[in-house]
Structure 1
Amino acid sequence: MSSVSYEDRVKQQIEQYANCDNIHDLPEAFHIWSHGFINPGLVEVFGVTTIPEFYAKAYLETKKNTAFISRLMNNTGRILSIGCGDGGVELDIVEYLLSKGESKFVMTCADLSPILLDRLRKKADLKNLGKYIETIEVDLNLSLPDRRFDMIMANHSLHHIVELEKIFDYLKSHLRDRGIFATNDMIGRNGHMRWPETAAIIKAFWPMLSDSEKWHAQLKRLDDTFTDHDCSSDGFEGIRAQDVLPLILERFHPYKFLGCGGFVDLIVDRGYGRAYDVSKSEDVEWIKFLSRLNDILLDAGCIRPTLMLAYFTKSAEEGWPEKFYRNRRASTAVRLKDPEWVKYYA
């Protein structure tokens, strides 16, 4: 971790999205990868095709439990979103649940940024969804609401948190029995850097890229040689990403798990992804080639995923065996040590 103070990291984290109207905006190249290579796993493991549906289905699955149904006869269903940001995904979840006839629930949305929470409240009011949303401005590293929830979600928020052990202990103690903890988050190396075996693959094809493909749009620099940037150097971005999954597995049982990414996500994400024109067949085929190669190396166990979409329960005894995509169990997504072969490519 760098010498930047905790207070400065908090300030940077709030300022990062203060002037960003769409914090979920991604290059078109990203969607070539996600639609072709993530969606098949979403359908097979979760039976969904969108992220809001992924979370909504987690809540609906808890209703298969008789105890939960009986509670709902008298009580309001409770959902917690930790690190909700501007609530774009959360409001989509609310709308999906309403479309399925669900109306007796409240979603508690917790975030560090008063700016993003204000946007959430305004959007909720515009959509007449305010009565389903409760906002809490809170530093997730320090405190969370003291009540129990039927479903807890974390959408790309865990990789911003320092006190992961504290958060996961809280989640386990405040998730109702047979409830689901659902998350879509980054699980690669800290700071979104690449592990040596993944970096070796990137370095192998990097000379094939044009200067425009080596231009990092966010950092505004040309990476003539591959530069493994540490995104946690000044804020909380990816600050303990590599600890997320191991710490969850110490406390929770994997119920449904999809691991993906590795190196292709780096190429199609906000840094380099805007170099590609998806109206050009050669650009699309290149993205698909990298995506296929990434999947081959994941399935062969040569690299580990950088992204997970997963449902976790409090214990295996709750009766839900793990369902996973191909051979990618949650336990095998944890990176344990440098593979022997990587020393030849250092």
Structure 2
Amino acid sequence: MLRRLRQRNCQPWLSDQPSRPAKHSPFRSCRAQCFTYWQWRCFSLPPRSCEGQGLGSNTDGDAPAWASSNGCAPGRHPFGHLVTLPSQARATPCGSGLHPASEIGCYSCVDEWQGASVDFPTRAGHCRGRDRSTLIARSVCPVSAEQGADAARVAGEKRHFESAGAYDPLPEICRYRTRRYVQPRVNEVFDTHSQADFYTRPILEKTAAGGPVTVLSLGSGNGELELGLASDLLRGGVDSFHIEGLEYSRLNVDAANANARAQGLEGKVSFFEGDFNTLAADRERDFVIANQVLHHVSALENLFDALTHILGKGGLLLTRDMIGRNGHLAWPECRELIDRVWSGMPRRYCYSHREKRFLDEPPDRDYSRNSFEGIRAQDILPLMLERFSFERFYAFGGITEKILNRALGPNFSVENEDDLAFVNNLELLNDTAINGGLIKPTVMLAHVAVEPRPLTCWRDRTPERCVRVPD
């Protein structure tokens, strides 16, 4: 067993670990090992023990001995290396050497997940007086309203995204997690310097070649992302572009067009009502934006087939989305780790600010039962691999989001050293579990094309290796 664990680069720290009670035996399982190390780090070391070991930082820091895996020099961070693979050299899903069963789910982008996973609205800093940590309401219709069995779901989804409840602010601890662990890696993989660059950089590169640029944004909501992108492009000296936003809610379409007029952008950005489950490939666009909308779609095959025609040769799909289990449930192997974390958490971390009570177990409900939230989340990545070529890709998340979310996140303070130490170790556990093949990530950021392209990803975290095949 020890040889197996070391071969998987999960537990080479065993000799340095203090003795533990029998129930924490490192030989129980690889998952138990992963958790035992996390528990030891979290409860045995001083609060600042994780400083210098930020998994997403660009500094080397003093890493534990196990950080020398996969060719990383001992004492250096194992997570600071990018891997560029030719498109023809990619592995197949669940191929030889890949862990066959692992992944986790996240949560609702309208309830618990968004800021916990990615504090990525559209632009860094502020947005015309509004807190950039607020969730952008990007309503979608996962099926046509004519399909009567789902009419109530569609109506409920529209009501939610048109309500003020979709703009709940994120706990500051979620932004701390993003700044320290997520954004630095995104910057490395996507060659960006800020959140806004995720969209603006490829568009600016396209305009440098000359000619007008056309952009289609799916589920554009109130237009905040699209209007911010237009403003950024204009400030960057780009004038020859047009952005179209496709939105299911008439209320949001009217609000977005009003915002465009108020900002003097009506000639550059326009919004239309429509259902992109039945999207027609009317003409090609240079870019398609899908920001946290794919996991609301039930007709993924129809949408992706249409996008292959819309993007054509040379187009790019720019997407951020959830790729975990349907309904944002946790996969069993991830739930096991989450339960272990929960059992050792201080009681004060277990208070739900949504339910106004202490929870006896971590929240893990199926959001797709009464809505289209995560309706086919686990199918997104496999279907994209069948139709597209990934140019840049980064995936993360799973365990951390079940603790750092809108319900439980307010229990943590960025001013409290113990809270920060807990979060740092929680993220370390999450990353170790992904790298060891115990679980799969649940959030992805990707630039995707139709024709084959070389892939840039984080270490060996390729799209193929992030697929969790259902049991």
Task: Give the counterpart of 1:264 among 380, 390, 400.
Answer: 400
Match of residue 387 from structure 2: 251
Q: Deviations over 1:185-217 (max 9, x none)?
A: 110011111111111110001123344432333
TM-score (norm 1): 0.87
Q: Deviations over 1:294-334 (max 9, x none)?
A: 11111222111110000011021xxx310001221111111
Match of residue 23 from structure 1: 167
Contact 2:217 2:243 (C-alpha < 8 Å) held by counterparts: yes
Deviates more, 1:134-143 or 1:175-184: 134-143
TM-score (norm 2): 0.65
Match of residue 142 from structure 1: 278
Task: Give the counterpart of 1:311 among 432, 442, 447.
Answer: 447
Q: Residues 112, 200 of structure 1: CA spacing in aligned structure 2 closer, same or farther, 3 A cutoff?
A: same
How far does residue 266 in structure 1 lie from its aligned partner after superposition?
2.3
Match of residue 342 from structure 1: none
Match of residue 228 from structure 2: 92
Equivalent residues in 2 for 1:173-188, closer than 5 Å? 173-188=309-324
Equivalent residues in 2 for 1:82-231, closer than 5 Å? 82-144=218-280, 146-218=282-354, 222-231=358-367
Find the aligned partners of 2:278 and 2:354 in 1 and give their Cα distance: 30
Task: Give the counterpart of 1:290 among 414, 426, 437.
Answer: 426
Match of residue 150 from structure 2: 6
Find the aligned partners of 2:385 and 2:443 in 1 and give their Cα distance: 15
SS at match of 1:301: coil
Q: Gaps (5+ residues) in structure 2?
A: 1-147
Q: Deviations over 1:160-206 (max 9, x none)?
A: 11100000001111113111111011100111111111111100011
The one of the two structures with greater contact order (alpha-carbon pairs below 8 A, sep at least 6) is 2
Task: Give the counterpart of 2:457 among 324, 328, 345.
Answer: 324
Deviates more, 1:260-269 or 1:113-122: 113-122
Task: Give the counterpart of 1:39 among 173, 183, 194.
Answer: 183
Find the aligned partners of 2:192 and 2:205 in 1 and give their Cα distance: 13
Q: Gaps (5+ residues) in structure 1?
A: 339-346
Find the aligned partners of 1:200 and 1:50 in 2 and give their Cα distance: 35
Q: Residues 24, 63 of structure 1: CA spacing in aligned structure 2 closer, same or farther, 3 A cutoff?
A: farther
How far does residue 58 in structure 1 lie from its aligned partner after superposition?
2.6
Contact 2:281 2:306 (C-alpha < 8 Å) held by counterparts: no
Q: Residues 123, 262 of structure 1: CA spacing in aligned structure 2 closer, same or farther, 3 A cutoff?
A: same
Identity of aligned residues (%): 33
Match of residue 232 from structure 1: 368
More strand by share: 1
Q: Residues 165, 144 of structure 1: CA spacing in aligned structure 2 closer, same or farther, 3 A cutoff?
A: same
Find the aligned partners of 2:394 and 2:362 in 1 and give their Cα distance: 28
Q: Residues 161, 216 of structure 1: CA spacing in aligned structure 2 closer, same or farther, 3 A cutoff?
A: farther
SS at match of 2:167: coil
Find the aligned partners of 1:51 and 1:144 in 2 and give their Cα distance: 30
RMSD value over aligned CA atoms? 2.0
Q: Residues 59, 220 of structure 1: CA spacing in aligned structure 2 closer, same or farther, 3 A cutoff?
A: farther
Contact 1:211 1:224 (C-alpha < 8 Å) held by counterparts: no
Do structure 1's residue 60 and structure 2's residue 236 form an aligned pair?
A: no
Find the aligned partners of 1:9 and 1:232 in 2 and give their Cα distance: 10
Q: Residues 307, 49 of structure 1: CA spacing in aligned structure 2 closer, same or farther, 3 A cutoff?
A: farther
Contact 2:244 2:272 (C-alpha < 8 Å) held by counterparts: yes
Contact 2:160 2:166 (C-alpha < 8 Å) held by counterparts: no
Contact 2:400 2:426 (C-alpha < 8 Å) held by counterparts: yes
